[in-house]
């Protein structure tokens, strides 16, 4: 069975503050974020406290199709910036998501956005899972991660049915992570 880990909103807020520091000391000044929904929405909003730049959004859905040894995962656009707003043309944009897992979603979104007339493109993730990646980050993309984590299933507070129970599980498992 896959191991699970829980993070609280407070844990996440602290990591995002550190992530913002890494972005700010990285040399590129970003003009706007593009959050990848749904997981990137809350991280982008918290990052905005520190980066003070506007948030745009795209939403994708991931369909994992496992056929024995063959996989053909599919990403679909649910909502997109189509066309890209004039205000973003020629600007530095920071794509935000909660987790760098297989990188399949990130590769898809970054490849699509690289077709547009942006200056620099960066990608910032809250959690970077240490594992073999199926997707490839396109050339020329700046990469920032809040923290590296083991390849365990992460339970995010925004998915919690009972946030008190979630926080208790986070406290119980905090020594392991
Ligand atoms: P990546 O490119 O960012 O690595 O993402 P990948 O395609 O591998 O992820 C597919 C979906 O699985 C994404 O959801 C991602 O958020 C979710 N995911 C991957 N690992 C974890 C994890 O440990 N915990 C949780 N809770 N989710 C995980 P999505 O299709 O974009 O849906 P949404 O939840 O963002 O709306
Ligand atoms: Mg997601």
Tell me the pLDDT tens digit for each residue of 29-83: 999 999 999 999 999 999 999 999 999 999 999 887 766 555 667 899 999 999 9
Closest CA to 43 of 161, 129, 125: 125
Q: Which atom of ligand 1 is nearest to the CA of 61?
A: 30
CATH 3.40.50.2020 fits 7-149, yes or no: yes
Residues carrying an active site annotation? 101
Provide the residue ranges of all domains of the chain, joining segments of one domain with +: 7-149
Q: Kindly write down the DSSP assignment for every residue of 129-148, as one continuous string.
A: E-S--SS-PPTT-EEEEEEE
> Rounded to the nearest whole angstrom, what is the distance from the C-alpha of residue 157 to the centroid of ligand 1?
14
Q: Which atom of ligand 1 is nearest to the CA of 156?
A: 26
Q: Which atom of ligand 1 is nearest to the CA of 107?
A: 2
User: Which of 37, 79, 99 is the best mutation target for the ligand 1 pocket, counting ligand atoms within 8 Å of the beta carbon and taking the most?
Assistant: 99
Distance CA 123, CA 147 (A): 14
Region 162-171: mean pLDDT is 98
CA atoms within 13 A on the CB side of 48: 14
> Rounded to the nearest whole angstrom, what is the distance from the C-alpha of residue 39 to the centroid of ligand 2?
4
Any idea which ligand is nearest the CA of 104? Answer: 1
Q: What is the model's pLDDT at position 51?
A: 98
Distance CA 68, CA 122 (A): 35
Distance CA 49, CA 42 (A): 11
Q: For 102-147, how does the pLDDT look when each residue is reduced to its tens digit (9 = 90+)?
A: 999 999 999 999 999 999 999 999 999 999 999 999 999 999 999 9
Any idea which ligand is nearest the CA of 106? Answer: 1
Q: Which long-range contacts (CB under 8 A, 24 or more apart) does 12-17 make?
A: 12/42, 12/43, 12/46, 12/126, 12/156, 12/157, 13/46, 15/126, 15/127, 15/146, 15/147, 16/43, 16/46, 16/47, 16/50, 16/126, 16/146, 17/50
Q: What is the model's pLDDT at position 176?
A: 84
């Amino acid at each position: 069975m896959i191991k699970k880990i829980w993070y609280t909103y407070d844990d996440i807020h602290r990591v995002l503050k550190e992530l913002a520091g890494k972005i700010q000391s990285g040399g590129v000044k970003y003009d706007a974020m593009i959050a990848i929904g749904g997981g990137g929405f809350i991280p982008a909003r918290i990052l905005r406290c520190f980066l003070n730049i506007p948030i745009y959004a795209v939403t994708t859905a991931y369909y994992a199709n496992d056929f024995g040894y063959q996989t053909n995962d599919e990403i679909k656009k649910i909502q997109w910036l189509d066309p890209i707003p004039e205000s973003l043309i020629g600007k530095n944009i920071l794509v935000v998501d909660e987790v760098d897992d297989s990188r399949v979603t990130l590769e898809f979104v970054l490849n699509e956005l690289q077709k547009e007339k942006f200056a620099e493109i960066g990608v910032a993730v809250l959690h970077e899972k240490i594992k073999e990646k199926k997707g490839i980050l396109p050339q020329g993309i700046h990469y920032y991660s809040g923290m590296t984590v083991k390849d365990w299933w992460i339970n995010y507070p925004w998915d919690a049915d009972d946030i008190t129970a979630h926080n208790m599980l986070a406290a119980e498992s905090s020594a392991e992570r």
